[in-house]
Structure 1
Amino acid sequence: MTEVTVWITVVVFFLLLFALRVNPFRAAGAFVQELFTNRKFLLHFLALIGILFMNKVELILENRMVQKNDFTSDIYRLEGDFVAAVQHLFRSDWLTIASSFFYVVVFTAIMVASLGIYTYQKNHKLFYAVCYAMMFNYMIAIPFYLFFPVNEVWYYASTKVEFLMTSVFPTFEQEYRPLSGLNNCFPSLHTSLSVTMAVIAWKSNSVFWRRFTIGSAAFIIFSIFYLGIHWLTDMCGGLLLGLFAGTMALRLSEGRSLFQNYVVSFLKNREVGKNG
């Protein structure tokens, strides 16, 4: 993973540079300072690390489960050869490189950079929103991975769909697979986390960051099909999860809950009705 780590670091550097218009090392310094001086900030960051560790625990639990269901055939009967059609229609060398790069490098870099951007901007609400949103994503997705396993498209339909990732990252299966199970497809976390980052970034005061996260989310969603990894059903589930996680995280970071919003909205509508 050394090569991938280097690329992620480089992309994070430039994302911070373009989004903040300052030396990225200043953003890194601000992040470290907050960790040592702001207890709430530190606790949120530790909770984020903890929920990411749960992904590794899920893989261990999955390997120890005696009886495993497989819903891949049901998904295939539902949507057929959609992914194969997308891959064959757009197949090109440059698109394979770009899609692989966004799927592996840019996807991770956006999440890392978002923490640095919101920290430097002193926008703690958005920083906390990112932490909450990632927790929502993993807490909701992990039970599906345990009890609703769906294999990746290329693995199930190998005669029709090719796994293009290995043509760009030859050691992907050896280095990346231990972080993500082969049957951890529904919902697509690449879709949900990309959409989540875009939803939160929409509240940012950086025009570049808003546009980049939205554009990246769209391209990553395309990439999950083009590379032969996810089903259309995975994307739909990931899209709904990403919108939910991002919206709820923003509300929580502002000190509100979903229930409170419904109550306030109900009372306002009732008041308007009385006045009308």
Structure 2
Amino acid sequence: MIVVISVVAWLFIVVASLCLVVGMALLDRGRIARLQTNLRRYPWELRREILGLLAVLAASAVGRGALQSVSEVYGWRATGTIVAIEGQFVAWVQASLFSPIATRYFSWIYIYAYVFLLVFPVIVYGSRRTPTTLRRLLVAYALNYGIGLIVYTIVFAHGPRNVMPDLVTSLLFTYNPDFQELAAQVNENANVFPSLHTSLSMTVATFAYRTRGSDPAWAVLTAWIAVSVWIATMYLGIHWLIDVLGGIVLALGCVAAAVRIVDPDPRGEDGSVDDAGTNAE
């Protein structure tokens, strides 16, 4: 437990530092001032979405073990099907890209950049004049976790590092063994389809693309991190290509559903108007 606390504390420091540096680079003084103002009213305005997301996360944390047992007994054992379809693709990815630098880069992406990618949109969209995009983002997050938990229960599949250990190495834990303690607290070995790392990063990237008119630099940064996350899940031996593709499909569906669920702002579907006077979702 001490190891987990240490890893989480360092994760918090790194992500907070990234948010501070990137926030100062991407947001002007007007949006930073608006963010401070919105912090006083958005939590109440978005209380339903926040509580809904917290409820889904709590259900996932509490029920993950029990649902894993249900999946083992009643779930569709899909590992053989996945291997039959894509063969040794993940092993090829790992062998083709392998180097100490690549291992450190993708490990950093998988842990630190990924968490930053999920947290920083709250700052970007929290600095807008209306909470439409932030509301949609929270709904999309909840849908990702909720649907992902259901699919994990239905589909029982092991990752490549467990299926072909002679060809695929658990490089994440080789880079930093302490991550294994943290991973054991939040993941199961048999809940690889779809890849939630992929679906959540794709969700953020999709919203960033929708708001590229007002935040072009954020859209570019998000695309880079998201693609790196997808590659990292395979390079580190955690997910199959099919898991990644499933995560992309899940993300697109969740974003589409969130846009439908959350009514457009009365001033227009794009939500607010940024300081430069351009429409921003």
TM bracket, shorter-chain basis: 0.7 to 0.9
Aligned runs of 1:14-29 on 2, under 5 Å?
A: 14-22=21-29, 29=36
Does 1:178 pair with 2:185? yes
After superposing the two structures, state which structure 1 stretch, 205-214 or 67-76, moved more: 67-76
1:153 to 138, 148, 160: 160
Q: Which residue of 2 aligns with 1:274?
A: none
The 1:16–1:46 alpha-carbon spacing in structure 2 relative to 1, beyond 3 Å, is: farther
**Residue 56 (structure 2) pairs with residue 51 (structure 1):** yes
* Percent identity (aligned): 23
**Structure 2 CA distance for partners of 1:236 and 1:52, relative to 1, 3 Å:** same
Instruction: State whether residues 32 and 127 of structure 2, in contact with CA within 8 Å, keep that contact through their aligned partners in structure 1.
Output: no
The root-mean-square deviation of aligned C-alpha atoms, in Å, is: 2.3
**Which residue number in structure 2 is paired with residue 251 of structure 1?**
260
Structure 1 201/176 Cα, relative in aligned 2: closer, same or farther at 3 Å? same
| Cα pair 2:160 2:238 within 8 Å, conserved | yes
1:30 and 1:119 in contact (8 A); partners too:
no
Q: Say yes or no: does 1:110 pair with 2:137.
A: no
Q: Within 2, Cα distance between the matches of 1:234 and 1:56? A: 21
CA distance in 2, matches of 1:15, 1:31: 19
* Long gaps (5+) in structure 1: 257-276
Q: Secondary structure at the match of 1:202?
A: helix
Residues 1-276 of structure 1 mapped to structure 2, 5 A cutoff: 1-22=8-29, 29-30=36-37, 32-35=39-42, 39-65=44-70, 67=73, 69=75, 70-204=77-211, 205-255=214-264
SS in 1 for 2:224: helix
Q: Structure 1 CA distance, aligned partners of 2:27 and 2:234?
A: 32
* Partner SS state of residue 225, structure 1: helix
C-alpha displacement at 1:46, in angstroms?
A: 2.0
When the two structures are aligned, how many residues end up with a matched partner?
254
- 8 Å Cα contact 2:35-2:128 kept in structure 1: no
How far apart are residue 102 of structure 1 and its match? Answer: 1.1
Asked if the contact 1:201–1:209 (Cα under 8 Å) also holds between the matched residues in 2, the reply is yes
What residue identity is the alignment partner of 2:104? I
Alpha-carbon distance in structure 2 between the residues aligned to 1:163 and 1:94: 16
SS in 1 for 2:210: coil
Q: Distance in 2 between matches of 1:166 and 1:58?
A: 26
Q: 1:250 to 1:17 in 2, by over 3 A?
A: farther
1:172, distance to aligned residue in structure 2 (A): 1.3
Secondary structure of the equivalent of 1:162?
Answer: coil
- Normalised TM-score (structure 2): 0.83
**Separation of aligned partners in 2, 1:4 and 1:28:** 24
| Gapped regions of structure 2 (runs ≥ 5) | 1-7, 266-281
Determine if contact 1:83/1:231 at 8 Å carries over to the other structure.
Answer: yes
CA shift in 2, pair 1:35/1:229, >3 Å: same
- Matched-pair contact (CA < 8 Å) for 1:58–1:142: no
